[in-house]
Amino acid sequence: MNISTGSIKKVVIVGGVAGGANVAARLRRLNENVEIVMFERGGYVSFANCGLPYHIGGEIVDRHKLLVHTPESLRKRFNIDVRINSEVMSINRKEKFVSVKDRKSDREFREAFDVLVLSPGATPLRPAIKGIDLPGIFSLRDIHDMDAIIENLSSMRAKNILIVGGGFIGLEMIEQLKHRFASSDVRLSLVESNPHVLAPLDFEMVARVEEELLKNGVNLLLNDPVTSFETSGSGLAAFTKSGKKIEADFILFNIGVRPETSLAVDAGLEIGARGGIKVDSQLRTGDPSIFALGDCIETKHLVTGESGVIPLAGPANRQGRIVADVICGIDSHYKGSLGTAILRVFGLTAAVTGANEKTLNRLGIESQSVFLHPSSHASYYPGASSMSIKLIYSPKTRKIFGAQAVGADGVDKRVDVIATAIYTGLTIDDLTDLELCYAPPFSSAKDPVNLAGMIAQNVEENLVQILHPKDLAAETASSLLLDVRDQEERENGFIPGSKHIPLNELRGRLSEIPKDKPLVVYCQSGQRSYNACRILMQNGFRCKNLTGAYKTWRALS
Ligand code: FAD
């Protein structure tokens, strides 16, 4: 392979963390001669943003572990000219230089480039809410924010902590603050403006996460945006749209980020409709000498084809490799992102990949989804727990659009397998066929991924019709609801208005079921009700299986 930067003698990089540091390191590995200068506005480079909540919580004890590289180690290992506390203020595209401000000395200087790489990341959203700049209200983005948060929390006896924003960082912080204050009775509140936390997941799936938050004592306020902050006594108070007042001595405000595009805008580079820098598949901006990557760009969503901002570490790291390749004449391309993401909330893991139902509906893309609640591994082997999976696919092409999973164990590997399946264009039939690892401590002979494929195939081959729990209320007026669970399960709760015939008695009691009405059949997870539907259909009944079954219905209600 011909690896040459050609006429490019000097590359200047803006931003020295995930994307920027990756470009620099790969570039050096590919080419020993090109001059690499990396400017970082803050005091640290190549640190682990994703680890910040875990140091605040105390799970990552040693702060140094977050600093993957220092300017000195990058200089020694990769011969990169790293300048920290150096903010790039503007770009002169015509004369090919950037103006840089040394934040320690306030000195301004110019740095020439042949190629410029922009990886300035994203900025936490801070809408113009009254009182948002009061001392005691923090956002978490970098090491400086983390240090300030830890200093603040260490200097007081926190009693009430409020997190505004139920996204990934907000929930990680709730978990970690509970960990940090495990031995004291700190009251944790979470306010979210949307009807549910974790916007990338659909409502039925996050219900379990919200239950977990409540189980861990979190005061959860949904669908209720914060409208103002005020000082109150010795601390602060947040007021919500519905008129609630939440007292807090510490507030974390993390409602999302927006791409950091000020340099690009001032330089006249094109910005997309979603607010990120527009780039081609080789991550070039409209100016062939300027590349951009990471949280500041728009990328194509691999399922919907929509352009969007997907601020995740995996894409930023992989894009770094591609930018370095392209600078060195290697014909690499970034195909797009799936938005695959995961988080732990106390005892649960939630993960998502591909498109969710909300997005597909918004775009008018026809989709079908099935729910299942399989065991994390063979149920007879100790320690198995139930997970919930939602598989979303195209009924036309049978290709997989997305998946979401929530559970105590084994969620990550199932969503990773499905992410790979989406990336390679596999169908529900392929999921059934995949040969995956199995021994009792790890999985079942039919892995949850296989089961998801089988359930979807059953639906598409008309072996059973399904009804989604969210559509149940509309259906019950004209249908008879049939519960085929065992007596003990029924005693622990049932869907009102349902008739009860346990599956094992069904064949002998068919005469009790009227034939003039369609049936909606449910069990605990959807498997026994599928068996029941097969018996009923072969005996002339019209019926639908409640997908996700009692578990999903209960989560929704
Ligand atoms: P960054 O890594 O943010 O780097 C941008 C750098 O550019 C910053 O250090 C900034 O100071 C610097 N900069 C900006 N403007 C200038 C300028 N004008 N001059 C000089 N320097 C400048 N993603 C996941 O996939 N999984 C996770 O678990 C996860 N957890 C996260 C937890 C937290 C607390 C945070 C904040 C983020 C998390 N992310 C996670 C997101 C992930 O860290 C980002 O997607 C990724 O770091 C983006 O890389 P980037 O290079 O675009 O930006």
How much is the pLDDT for 552? Answer: 87
- pLDDT, one tens digit per residue, over 232-265 is 887 999 999 999 999 999 999 999 999 999 999 9
Q: Is the CB of 52 under 6 A from ligand 1?
A: yes
pLDDT tens digit sequence for 150-195: 999 999 888 999 999 999 999 999 999 999 999 888 999 999 999 9
Task: Name the 3-class secondary structure at 101.
Answer: strand
Q: Is the pLDDT of residue 75 over 90?
A: yes
Average pLDDT in the chain = 96
Please give the Cα distance from 28 to 8 (Å, whole number).
13
Which of 50, 296, 328, 533 is flagged as catalytic? Answer: 50
Average pLDDT over residues 33-41: 97
pLDDT given at position 540 = 95
The residue whose CA is least distant from atom 49 of ligand 1 is 18
Q: Global pTM?
A: 0.95
Is it the case that residue 317 has pLDDT exceeding 70? yes
- Nearest ligand 1 atom to alpha carbon 19: 51
Q: By three-state DSSP, how is residue 524 classified?
A: coil
Nearest one of 286, 57, 254, 63 to 165, comparing CA atoms: 254
Distance 122 CA to ligand 1 centre (A): 6
Alpha-carbon span 329 to 326, nearest angstrom:
5
CA of 312 to the centre of ligand 1 (A): 8
Active site residue 50: yes
196 pLDDT higher than 90: yes
378 pLDDT more than 90: yes
CA–CA separation, 378 and 226 (whole Å) = 45
Q: Is the CB of 263 under 6 A from ligand 1?
A: yes
Phi/psi for 460 (5° steps) reads -70, -25
CB burial readout 508-532, b (16+ within 10 A) else e:
eeeeebeeeeebbbbbbbbbbbbbb
d(CA 479, CA 472): 10
Distance from CA of residue 507 to its chain's centroid? 45
Distances (CA, A) of 52 to 138, 194, 260, 490, 530: 14, 25, 20, 45, 45
Is ligand 1 within 6 A of the CB of residue 169?
A: yes
Of the candidates 462, 465, 506, which has an alpha carbon nearest to the alpha carbon of residue 483? 506
Question: What separation in Å is there between the alpha carbon of 407 and the centre of ligand 1?
Answer: 28
With residue 466 as reference, give the H or E element that holds it: strand 465-467
Contact in structure between 541 and 519 (CB atoms under 8 Å): yes
pLDDT bracket for residue 147 (50, 70, 90): very high
Q: Which amino acid is at 442?
A: F
| pLDDT at position 216 over 80 | yes
Virtual CA dihedral for 47, 49, 50, 52, nearest 10 degrees?
Answer: 100
**Ligand 1 binding pocket mutation candidate from 12, 14, 17, 116 (most atoms within 8 A of CB):** 17
With left for phi above 0 and alpha for psi between -120 and 50, is residue 522 left, alpha or beta? beta
Is the Cβ atom of 141 under 6 angstroms away from ligand 1? yes
- Ligand 1 pocket test: pick from 46, 50, 103 the residue with the most ligand atoms within 8 Å of its Cβ: 50
Task: Give percent of the chain with pLDDT exceeding 90.
Answer: 93
What kind and span of H or E run contains 85? Answer: none
Taking the centre of ligand 1 as the mean of its atom positions, its distance from the CA of residue 379, in whole angstroms, is 41
Which residues partner with 102 through β-bridges?
Answer: 86
How far apart, in whole angstroms, are the C-alpha atoms of residue 302 and residue 423?
Answer: 7
Nearest 10 degrees: Cα torsion 453, 458, 462, 468: -80
Of 403, 518, 390, 389, which is closest to residue 465 (Cα–Cα)?
518
Give pLDDT, residue 156: 85
Q: What is the pLDDT of residue 363?
A: 97
Task: Give the pLDDT of residue 348.
Answer: 97
Quick: pLDDT tens for 505-547: 999 999 999 999 999 999 998 999 999 999 999 999 999 999 9
- Cα–ligand 1 centroid distance for 119 (angstroms): 9
Which mutation among 177, 265, 312 tests ligand 1's pocket best, with the greatest number of atoms within 8 A of CB?
A: 312
Measure the CA–CA gap between 399 and 396, rounded to whole angstroms: 8
Distance (Å, whole) CA 399 – CA 201 = 19
Q: What is the pLDDT of residue 31?
A: 96
Is residue 170 in contact with ligand 1, taking CB distance under 6 Å? no
| pLDDT mean over 386-391 | 96
DSSP 547: T
| Per-residue model confidence (pLDDT) at position 2 | 64
Token pair for 252: 């974390």
DSSP track, 222-238: -S--EEEEEEETTEEEE
Distance 47 CA to ligand 1 centre (A): 9
Q: State the residue for tokens 């590289």.
A: 69
Q: Which residues fall within 8 angstroms of residue 505, CB to CB, at 6 or more apart?
A: none
Residue 121 beta carbon below 6 angstroms from any ligand 1 atom: yes
208 lines ligand 1 (CB under 6 A): no
**Token match 């990756």: residue?**
22
How much distance in Å is there from the Cα of 17 to the middle of ligand 1?
A: 6
In the prediction, which pLDDT does 351 show? 98
Q: How high is the pLDDT of residue 12?
A: 98
Q: Which atom of ligand 1 is nearest to the CA of 53?
A: 34
